[in-house]
Amino acid sequence: MHEAWLPREHSLYRPRHGRRQLTALVCAAVFFAVPALGWVFGGRPSEIENRELADFPGIADGWGFFTGMSQWATDHLVFRDAAIEAADGISHGVFGEPAPMGQGEGAGPIPGVPDGPRDKGDDGDSQQQQQRQSAGYAEVIEGSDGWLYYGDDITDKCFPERPLTETFERLDRIRHAVEASGRRFVLTIAPDKTTMVPQHLPDSYAGKDCAAEATEQFWKLAEQQQNFLDIRPSLEDVAEQLGRPPYFANDTHWTDDGAMMLTRDIAEELQPGVTDSWRNRGVGWSASDGDLASMLGRSAPKTWIRYQLMPDGSTDRTHDALRKFDGPERYDADAGKDIEGTIGAPTALIGDSFTFASSRYLPAAFADLTLLSYPQLGDHKKATIDTFIRSEIVVVQTVERSVAEGDLPLIDEGFIKMVERRLAANPIR
């Protein structure tokens, strides 16, 4: 009951507030009733942030029931995608700049969080976040000709968690542990789109100078690593052949042309000449929303051509792309078989969303391959190391920005020690 409806003798009676309160009540009713009516008549919330909608919190979550309610309510608000598009359109049309969306913690193309505490602690993370925002660092950088770039390509280089040299030293400890146990090891790094397609970046943006300096140092150190597979030359060759970069304009990942290139380069690194018999052909087009466009609240599809990969020149061995990348995914139907154009040795490949984006083609090149996700490593440490032990080859694929930041679950000290101890106890020769 608002103040104007109280008895006159009541101490809180305020007739002058009646119209304002009535207006507020009407607005509240519209805000809640319209989405509810939309749901009744078939309207449903959609996934617009490159992740699944939040589940309704359970009573067993304790206080998490209350803290999780806000995210659930936001995600399941009907017509939210239309409201976000309208806000973005108004911001561009009136102010000539994007709406301040996609600024929430944890947003972005790479799912998962690192395992273990950060070096700086929560206070350090909060201060760093404030520094980024005050300096104008964006979650998504809008370039020319409709090209979008993931802001973490820049901020992760300007605000690293640890020195680059230490990050590479920790990755090298994994290599040494794998090779000391008699297994083969390959490290490959997916270059950021800002590295491979810089021509569409704006002339000025926060972090431009420090990111350029860090990028130069990054690749100098990467090239010094043992058993490092540098895929930048192949990406440049693909771009020259296609007449366009093998990256999406509105997504941070590469197209299937890049995924095919990664598959071919890894196979050649492990067994030179194995791809001589390979043949591939286009079989159709696919489309989905670009992750960077989604972060801006836009429904902007990305389209790409799918391929068949025939390692022996005639048999299509491609698989359906993974729909979810969490625990180990094993492809071993041909284990022990000698198939032309494939790697026969059991292989573990631990990667991130670039491996996920390449999951249609990678299994085609191996008779026995297990794909693992390092962003989800915290939930699958034992299974990951067990897969390493079962394999004769271990391939690590990561992305430039994550290595530059030094915030990788793979280089958690506890995990590295587990790898060293377990592999030393289970050599293969």
Quote the tokens at residue 321. Answer: 């792309």
Q: Which residue has the tokens 């390692």?
A: 311
Q: At 349, give phi and psi (nearest 5°).
A: -125, 110
Distance CA 237, CA 232 (A): 9
HSE-CB at 18 with a 13 A cutoff on CA atoms is: 7
Quote the tokens at residue 30. Answer: 């519209």
Burial of 373 per CB tally in 10 Å (0-12, 13-18, 19+): buried
pTM of the model: 0.76
pLDDT at residue number 107: 38
Output the DSSP codes for 167-230.
HHHHHHHHHHHHHHTT-EEEEEEEPPHHHH-GGGS-S--TTHHHHHHHHHHHHHHHHTSTTEE-
pLDDT at residue number 244: 95
Q: Measure Cα distances from 259 to 37, 358, 359, 360 in Å.
A: 44, 5, 8, 8
Q: Please, what sign has the CA dihedral across residues 330, 333, 338, 342?
A: negative
pLDDT at residue number 85: 60
pLDDT at residue number 52: 61
Torsion of CA 333, 110, 392, 219, to 10 degrees: 140
Number of Cβ within a 10 Å radius of residue 326: 14
The three state secondary structure string of 324-391 is CCCCCEEECCCCCCCCCCCECCCEEEEECHHHHHCCCCHHHHECCEEEEEHHHHHHCHHHHHHHHHHC
Distance CA 46, CA 289 (A): 12
Distance CA 343, CA 215 (A): 33
Burial of 336 per CB tally in 10 Å (0-12, 13-18, 19+): exposed
Per residue of the chain (429 residues), give pLDDT as tens.
666 667 777 776 666 555 666 777 777 777 667 666 666 766 666 655 555 666 777 776 676 666 666 776 766 666 566 666 666 566 656 655 555 554 444 334 544 333 333 344 445 555 666 666 656 788 999 999 999 999 999 999 999 999 999 999 999 999 999 999 999 999 999 999 999 999 999 999 999 999 999 999 999 999 999 999 999 999 999 999 999 999 999 999 999 999 999 999 999 999 999 999 999 999 999 988 888 988 887 778 899 999 999 999 999 999 999 988 888 999 998 888 899 999 999 999 999 999 999 999 999 999 999 999 999 999 899 999 999 999 999 999 999 999 999 989 999 999 999 999 999 999 997
Distance CA 395, CA 175 (A): 10
